Each structure stands twice: as C-alpha cells, then as structure tokens.
Amino acid sequence: MVTSARGTAPAQLPPAGLPGLRPEWSRLVEGRDAEGQVRTWHVLDTGSPEDSRGTLLCLHGNPTWSYLWRDLLARAEGWRVIAPDHLDMGFSERTGTRRTLAQRIGDVRGLVAALELTGRVVVVGHDWGGVIAMGWAESVHGPGSRPDGIDLDGIALCNTAASHPAGAPPPGPLQVATAPGVLPLVTSRTDAFLRTALALTHPRPPAEVQEAYRAPYRTPERRQGIEAFVADVPTGVHHPTQARLDELAADLVHLADVDALLLWGPKDPVFTEHYLRDLRARLPHAVVHRFEGKGHLLPEDADVAGAVLTWLAERGRERAQPGGVPSEYRPLWRFLEERADSDADVVVEVRGGDDGPSVRRISWRLLHRRTTELAAGLAAHGVLPGQRVSLLVPPGADLTAVLYACLRIGAVAVIADAGLGVKGLTRAVNGAGPDHVIGIERALLAARALRWPGRRIAAGPISDAKLRLTGATTTLLEVAEIGARLLAGRDPADVLPPEPDPEAHAAIFFTSGSTGPAKGVVYTHRQMALFARAMGQVTRTGPDSGLVTAFAPFALMGPALGATCVVPDMDVTKPRTLTAAALADAVVAGGSSSAFLSPAAMANVIATAGDLDAAQREALAGVRTLLSAGAPVHPRLQQRAKELMPLAEPRTPYGATEVLPATDISLAEVLAAGEGEGICVGLPLPGVTTAVAPLDADGAAAEEVVTTAGVTGEVCVRAEHVKDHYDQLWLTQLASTRVRAPQDLGVGRWHRTGDVGHLDEQGRLWIEGRLAHIVVTGDGVVTPVGIEQRAETVDGIARAALVGVGPRAARQLVVVAEANEPVARTTVAAPPLARAVRAATGRDLAAVLLVPALPTDVRHNSKIDRARVAEWAERVLAGERGEL
C-alpha cells in the first residue's frame, strides 16, 4: 500500500476474499468533506432493492471499518444498506489531517450529499460511529427542519456514548491509550489498540475475520486515523471536542420523535453501563436490549443485524399490542391510608431467643406514618418519579415501609434478592442501573466494592465511620426525620408528590436465573395491584387475615391486601433455615392460621419437627392454610407437612416471576391426578388462561397456541397480572409475548413461560420441564420431568436429571442422579440399578450416572440446571474426567 510522506493516500478497494464481504458491495465515492475538500470514500452499498423501504446508513467506530456491518448488508432484505469507511479509516482516503468529531459529522453529511441520498434513512452506529450517527441525525433532523431532505426514520446504537462528564478521565483502557507519549505507540506505531479491540470479543471471531479487521491497517501510516480518533476523545474541559459532545448530548431531545434502538454488550470496559444509563435517560423512548455476557465489539459478539432487522419489522406492531379492558385499580398503599389510625398489627417480626421468642409488632398506624415520612423524605432527598431505587434490605418492617414509600412517590423499586447469589445480584443491580441504592451495611459495602451504580442510603443502625465507609450520603433514619419535619402539621397530600399513574412502572423483580442470567421483570402499578390481588385469592388472604410467610417476596404484599404478615425467625434469604419451632412461634405470635413457605423451608420444617414442644405442636395443628411456591413440592413431603398441620390442605400455586400465580392445586388434587407425564399443577385460576405452543421436531415451539389435551408444548399463560415487560431485554420481551391464540380464547396479554407441558382432558396443566432442557433426539423430542419422576421411583435414586449426549441424529438419553446412599464421586450405576432405571423410565438410557450432588438454582435449591448437567455428561461420557 502506497502512502506518501505527508501521510496521504488515495482510497482503494478492499482485497478479495475477506470472509462475509461481497466484492460487488464495494465502491469508491467522491464527495466533499466537512471543509468542502474533495475526498474519496470507500463505501459498502447494497444498492436499492425494488420497493425499497429506505436506507440503513451504518457508521463504524474506532478501530474498525465498514466490514463491521457485513451481516446487516447481507441480511437486510427490502432495504438499501450503505456502510462507509470514515476518512482516514478502512479503505477510504488517507487525508493527512487529524479529524475531529465535528469534522466527522460534517464528512458524513458531505458523503450523504454525494450519494444523493434522500427519503427514509435509519442510521446505525457503533462506538464512535454511534456518536457520529447521533451528531449526523441531529444535523438532518433539527427542531422542525429537514435541511438535507432526509426523513430520519430511526436510530440504532450499539455500545457508544452521548456524553462524557467534562474533566472526567477517559473511560477504562482509553486512559492508558491517551496518556502522554503512549498514544502513537499503541494506536499507530504498533497495532496494539487494534488488537485490543479484537480481543474484547466474546468469543473471539475466527482468525480470518480478525485478519479482515486488520486488513486496512497494516502499516503505521495507514493507522494514523486510529490515533486521531483516540486523540479526539475528550481528556479535559479544554479539549476541542468536549464542547461539541456537550452540544450533541443536549440536542438529543430533538430526536424524541425518532424511533430509537439501543443494543448493548455489558462486558465493555470502555463504554460501561454508565453510558447506557445516560443514553436511556436522554432517549427515554428507546427500546433497549442488553446482550448479557457480550462486550464492546457487539456486532461480532451478538446478532446485531438480526436485532436491528427485528426492530425494523416489529416497531410498528409493538405499539398496537392488545390490552383488553383494564380492570378496577386500587393502589397498593390504599389500605395503609385507610388504616392510618388503626392500632392493629400489620407486620409481626419474631426473633428467637434463649428465653423464648421476642416479638416486634408494627401497627398500621406506625407503618403508615413511617411510610409517609419516608416517602416525603425520599422525595426531598431527590428521589424522583420514574427513578430506580434498588432495595437491598432484608424482608421485614423496614423493607415493607421503604417499598411502599417508593411506590407512593412513583420511584421504581428494584427488588433483587440475595437468592441470586453475589454474582447474580451484581449483574442484576448493575443491569437495572438504579439511581439510588437503599441497603443495609453489608449490601452497601458490596455495592461500593463491586461498583454498583446509584446514590447510597444506609438502612438500619450505622455509625458515622461505617457510613463513610459504605459511601452512603445519608441513612433511612435521617430521611424519615426530614420527612417528619416536612409533614409536621400538614396534610400528607400537600407534601407528597402526586400519586403515580397506574400505567407507570412500579417495581422490577428478577427471575431465579436457573436457565441463563436472571432477567429483570418490570411491573406497572396496575399490574402490581392485580398481582397482589391474585396472590391474595390463591393464599386465601384478605383484609384482617394473618399469614406467616417464609417466602420473601410475598411478605411485601400483606399491606396491599389489608393482611397481617408474620415474619418467622429465619434467614429469609435462605429458606432452609426455617425450623418447625420458628414457624410455630410465628403462628402463635401472629395469631394466624395460614403459612406460606418455599419448598426448601417446608422440607426443613418437616426435618426439624422432632424439636417441637407440646405447645408448638398444638399451634401448628391450628394452621388451616398451607402454601408452597417457587418449585413443585413432592406429594410425599406435603403429606408429611399435613401430618404436622392436619387441618391444612397443602396447596401449591404454579407461576413464574412474570406471571404469579397462574394455576393452583391442592395435595388431594395432586393425588387424585395420579401419575402422568410430568407434574400436575392444576387448573388455571379465575381470569387466567393456559395453553401450549406445540413443539416441532427440532424442539422449537410454535407461535400458535392450542388447548388440545395431550399436546406437549411451551406453556403460555394469559392473565391481567402478566408482567409489563422484561427490563432492557427488548428481544426477549418480544419473544416472550409472541403468541397467536385462537379467537375463542379471547384477547389479552400472553406470556411464554419457557416451561414445557401439556393440558389434560380436565384442563389441568402438567409441567414436563424447561423448554431449554428438552432433549431433541433423532426419534423426536423428549421432555425430562416425567422420566425423572419415574427414575426417582427406583430404590436407590433420590433425585434424577435427564439429559442428552451426542449429535442430534444419534443423541442418547442419560440419567444423572443423586443416590439415596450418597456417592463421593461420579459412579456408573451397577447393571441391576441401571436396568431398574431403564425399566422404570421405559427408555433405553445409554448411562445411569450417580453423582454427589446435582447443581440447582440458589433461590429455590430445587430447579436443576440440566444444561450444566448435559454439558458435563457430554464430556464425561466421551471419556474426559471431571466431577459435576
């Protein structure tokens, strides 16, 4: 490649044979740059198809080139796709200048003019290409003006930034790159910067693709543009580009009427989630999808082309989602207001002690006062409607008060529980991007150490020194005191902000993450109220009834139902810590006759029943309603629970974080249903519709759902209390609602649960496993739960997981199990046991492997991670060593 001494060189065409790049796309285009100089660009251009819907203008960043967009060029049917190389980049002209952001935006304008591009244009940008895209979009779509005859039809951005705080150091690795003397060394004299960018991929692209990225940047002269790009990153207030960037960020308000898509790889050390939060705030109407586990070079890491095309196809349709007629709305805090003068208990906390349990009782009056004070105080502290507040406070009166305070002032409560594990919790909090974090000392220390975003408020007692250590600016106590001062002698309605709209976001919960990273689930106020009402129905909890709850999320629902919640002595984040005695003490303290447990809690209650004294036994014998949720509970276990609580008919609602509850079944009904393929979870609750989306031979679930008995498919649920959407997972949300239902099922919002199962003749739902865990064999699709249940009937098998190994056409079924007599290491079941399991399951299992323990989710300790088991079995049965 010829480069003159002054660092100029003409544009040229890329070499032939770069993977995925079609030579016919490449052309050289002459036009004028920002200064009006004639320049030549290398441009990839698919040309206009017939009936073109418009043009996708795709802008690469640094240090890539238009090659980044090859998938989009190949797949964007019905669109013309144009992807230029910026001047001094890729195969475009080497100008010998050092171009700034302002010039680059002008350059794109000049190129678009040279291309005589008009009409509908969707601009797509990555990295600094995203910044240029925003700048260009603003330049052609001013307030009320269309200077270039462009009809800006959308903007799609990946891992980029709209602003950078003036004076703040450049992000992450760029600090090193922009350090004095380092810049030319890493960017142009060597190709270290280029190599680093390619190394930030997950997984690394094939070597030929990496080579293609390097192709235009073989020599230091050809890399001058990379250096200039990095030098243009504002490193101080006086940097020439800082002002342009500030202007660009401020002008984003003019794009409020332009469809926007934000695609993000969170594992980006440069454009961290800070920049995503900033962009979301500036483009609040944007749809967002975070690709968990993916990084900076997102178009290589994830299917960005597919995401952009899906967005282009679906954006109109999404707005027209059927909602049905909204039902009556009663805000969650209404009971608190109505009972502001009641001295009856609303929360009862029981703590065990050597001299018997100690009990903390919170009256409606106290909770109302506390909630109102907190609401006023938080508003005064600067917690605004729509802002996210992460609540890292253990269930109990404090959490209840702060949650209802947040709800009342329209802040969005982010409820990530410790059941996600530290890693899952970090991912959840980071992903949700809270503006404020309210947490106990331990949580705030973690927030600081793990750099969770948000202003911090300490909950619970804390010393000044500790307060500084956590980085918190205030405590809940202070917040409440401020609130109390503001409220003194005034009507709360005059002090508090107006009640939030029923359709405003209220809270974000998280899925258990047993199949992939935990997903944030957003509920509106209306949906939360409906969810509370449905839970009240299924738990038989209403005004003035009492409920002992060892099921953390439900403890929060009591005040919304007018009910008294009793929190037993346990580590609520570890359900297994609930003992029978603690449950009995809670029943006595709350005078309640209902208990709501998780399966692990129920198991431990039964295991510790021997420690009960006579009074405690008597207390349990008075329990009339016993519920468990989160995962199926074996009838054997429920039977034993019933022996402790003979008046209770154990019930198990079925649902998901996205739609809870959906169905409900009693122990008697479980026993009456008998054996079948899977676990019977009963009939849908009133107002809920269940259907299945049949599976094809590849195990893919159809869009159409049926209610035909005996058809196995993905379980789909329609209910008013279905989630609003997944947080920043637009593609996942789209997939989870993509249901076509026959007319006789009526209209409303559907949720695809990711479970597989079938309906029986009576309309009962049977769960056969997770869609992600089905085994696709040459002979068809096999669902795991029924086979596992039959395997567990064999003497010696305690808990079983069914997985497949080998390539699909020859795939073999394998049972991996925990034995009744635990094994210390992986053991192949002896032939008699293997034969018994084959006979019981009716399957020609290639192997029955006994392992010390099956991996399960942290929250429920019951959902087996079959994907991990399958991956392990594949290796071990191929002859590799290693324990599960």
Partner 1 sequence: MRVLVTGASGMLGRRTAEALLARGDEVRVLQRRPAGIDGAAEVLGSVSDRAAVDRAVRGVDGVIHLAAKVSITGPLPEYVEANVRGTTTVVDACRRAGVGRLVHVSSPSVAHTGSAIVGEGAGPAQPEHARGNYARTKAQAELLALAADSPGLAVTAIRPHIVLGPGDTQLVQRIADRARAGRLPLLDDGTALIDTTYVDNAVDALLAALDRIEHARGQALVVTNGQPRTVAEVFSAICEAAGVPAPARRVPSAVAKSAGGVVERAWTRLRLPDEPPMTSFLAEQLSTAHWFDQRHTHEVLQWSPRVGIDEGLQRLREGFAPA
Are 88 and 95 spatial neighbours (Cβ–Cβ below 8 Å)?
yes
Name the one range near partner 1 by CB under 8 A: 107-115, 135-143, 374-382, 819-827: 819-827
Are 216 and 307 spatial neighbours (Cβ–Cβ below 8 Å)?
no
CB 186: neighbour CB atoms within 10 A? 22
The residue (of 50 and 880) whose beta carbon lies closer to partner 1 is 880
Q: Provide the minimum distance between the beta carbon of 814 and partner 1 in the complex, in angstroms, as a whole number.
A: 9
Near partner 1 in 327-366, by CB under 8 A: none
Q: Side by side, which strands form the sheet with 725-726?
A: 474-475, 455-458, 436-439, 388-392, 412-414, 505-510, 520-524, 725-726
691 in contact with partner 1 (CB under 8 A): no
Q: Provide the minimum distance between the beta carbon of 712 and partner 1 in the complex, in angstroms, as a whole number.
A: 24
Q: Provide the minimum distance between the beta carbon of 101 and partner 1 in the complex, in angstroms, as a whole number.
A: 53
824 in contact with partner 1 (CB under 8 A): no
830 in contact with partner 1 (CB under 8 A): yes
For residue 433, give every residue at least 6 positions away whose Cβ sits within 8 Å of its Cβ, in sequence order, or none.
Answer: 273, 276, 277, 280, 388, 453, 454
Nearest CA among 652, 640, 560 for reference residue 599: 652
Residue 802's SS3 state is strand
Among 320, 325, 810, 824, binds partner 1 (CB under 8 A): 810
Q: Provide the minimum distance between the beta carbon of 779 and partner 1 in the complex, in angstroms, as a whole number.
A: 11
For residue 880, give every residue at least 6 positions away whose Cβ sits within 8 Å of its Cβ, in sequence order, or none.
Answer: none
The residue (of 624 and 808) whose beta carbon lies closer to partner 1 is 808
End-to-end Cα spacing for the chain: 54
The residue (of 590 and 804) whose beta carbon lies closer to partner 1 is 804
Report the C-alpha gap between 590 and 359 in whole angstroms. Answer: 9
The residue (of 79 and 872) whose beta carbon lies closer to partner 1 is 872
CA distances from 403 to 360, 411, 507 (A): 19, 9, 9
Report the C-alpha gap between 451 and 311 in whole angstroms. Answer: 32
131 in contact with partner 1 (CB under 8 A): no
Q: Provide the minimum distance between the beta carbon of 852 and partner 1 in the complex, in angstroms, as a whole number.
A: 12
Peptide bond into 63 cis (omega under 30): yes
834 in contact with partner 1 (CB under 8 A): yes
806 in contact with partner 1 (CB under 8 A): yes
Are 62 and 104 spatial neighbours (Cβ–Cβ below 8 Å)?
no
* x-marked contacts with partner 1 along 843-882 as a string, rule CB under 8 A: -x-xx-x------------------------x-xxxxxx-
The residue (of 279 and 850) whose beta carbon lies closer to partner 1 is 850
Q: Side by side, which strands form the sheet with 847-851?
A: 797-805, 812-819, 847-851, 827-828
Among 437, 801, 805, 840, binds partner 1 (CB under 8 A): 805
Among 180, 809, 821, 824, binds partner 1 (CB under 8 A): 809
The residue (of 578 and 829) whose beta carbon lies closer to partner 1 is 829
812 in contact with partner 1 (CB under 8 A): yes
Give, for 776, the enclosing helix (H) or strand (E).
strand 775-777
219 in contact with partner 1 (CB under 8 A): no
Q: Tokens 């990153």 map to which residue?
A: 233
829 in contact with partner 1 (CB under 8 A): yes
The residue (of 207 and 878) whose beta carbon lies closer to partner 1 is 878
Residue 100's SS3 state is coil
Name the one range near partner 1 by CB under 8 A: 348-356, 390-398, 521-529, 822-830: 822-830
Q: Provide the minimum distance between the beta carbon of 609 and partner 1 in the complex, in angstroms, as a whole number.
A: 38
The residue (of 723 and 838) whose beta carbon lies closer to partner 1 is 838
Burial of 759 from C-beta contacts in 10 A (0-12 / 13-18 / 19+): buried
The residue (of 156 and 816) whose beta carbon lies closer to partner 1 is 816
For residue 849, give every residue at least 6 positions away whose Cβ sits within 8 Å of its Cβ, in sequence order, or none.
Answer: 814, 815, 816, 817, 826, 827, 828, 829, 873, 876, 877
The residue (of 600 and 836) whose beta carbon lies closer to partner 1 is 836
The residue (of 465 and 878) whose beta carbon lies closer to partner 1 is 878
Residue 882's SS3 state is coil
Report the C-alpha gap between 232 and 241 in whole angstroms. Answer: 6
The residue (of 491 and 880) whose beta carbon lies closer to partner 1 is 880
Q: Provide the minimum distance between the beta carbon of 854 and partner 1 in the complex, in angstroms, as a whole number.
A: 16
Q: Provide the minimum distance between the beta carbon of 840 and partner 1 in the complex, in angstroms, as a whole number.
A: 14
Report the C-alpha gap between 520 and 188 in whole angstroms. Answer: 42
What is the bridge-based pairing of β-strands 38-45 and 80-84?
antiparallel
Q: Provide the minimum distance between the beta carbon of 774 and partner 1 in the complex, in angstroms, as a whole number.
A: 18
CA distances from 193 to 51, 61, 161, 214 (A): 42, 13, 19, 11
Q: Tokens 């790009």 map to which residue?
A: 229
826 in contact with partner 1 (CB under 8 A): yes
Name the one range near partner 1 by CB under 8 A: 120-128, 165-173, 838-846, 856-864: 838-846
Among 778, 780, 822, 842, binds partner 1 (CB under 8 A): 778
Near partner 1 in 522-541, by CB under 8 A: none
Instruction: Compute how many residues bind partner 1; rule: CB under 8 A.
Output: 29
The residue (of 688 and 787) whose beta carbon lies closer to partner 1 is 787
Are 749 and 324 spatial neighbours (Cβ–Cβ below 8 Å)?
yes
Name the one range near partner 1 by CB under 8 A: 33-41, 276-284, 604-612, 820-828: 820-828
The residue (of 364 and 872) whose beta carbon lies closer to partner 1 is 872
Q: Provide the minimum distance between the beta carbon of 789 and partner 1 in the complex, in angstroms, as a whole number.
A: 22
The residue (of 351 and 835) whose beta carbon lies closer to partner 1 is 835
Residue 751's SS3 state is strand
Give residue 272's region: left, alpha or beta (phi > 0; psi -120 to 50).
beta
For residue 799, give every residue at least 6 positions away whose Cβ sits within 8 Å of its Cβ, in sequence order, or none.
Answer: 792, 817, 818, 854, 864
831 in contact with partner 1 (CB under 8 A): yes
Q: Provide the minimum distance between the beta carbon of 850 and partner 1 in the complex, in angstroms, as a whole number.
A: 10
* x-marked contacts with partner 1 along 721-760 as a string, rule CB under 8 A: ----------------------------------------
Are 753 and 692 spatial neighbours (Cβ–Cβ below 8 Å)?
no
828 in contact with partner 1 (CB under 8 A): yes
827 in contact with partner 1 (CB under 8 A): yes
Q: Provide the minimum distance between the beta carbon of 440 and partner 1 in the complex, in angstroms, as a whole number.
A: 45
Report the C-alpha gap between 348 and 649 in whole angstroms. Answer: 24
Name the one range near partner 1 by CB under 8 A: 205-213, 434-442, 724-732, 831-839: 831-839
838 in contact with partner 1 (CB under 8 A): yes
The residue (of 465 and 824) whose beta carbon lies closer to partner 1 is 824
**Structure tokens given for 700:** 């893919």
Are 48 and 80 spatial neighbours (Cβ–Cβ below 8 Å)?
yes
Give, for 636, the enclosing helix (H) or strand (E).
helix 635-644
Distance of CA 2 to the CA centre of its chain: 50
CB 531: neighbour CB atoms within 10 A? 27
Q: Provide the minimum distance between the beta carbon of 874 and partner 1 in the complex, in angstroms, as a whole number.
A: 8
The residue (of 629 and 805) whose beta carbon lies closer to partner 1 is 805
Name the one range near partner 1 by CB under 8 A: 374-382, 536-544, 651-659, 808-816: 808-816
Footprint of partner 1 (CB under 8 A): 778, 805-807, 809-812, 825-831, 834-835, 838, 844, 846-847, 849, 874, 876-881
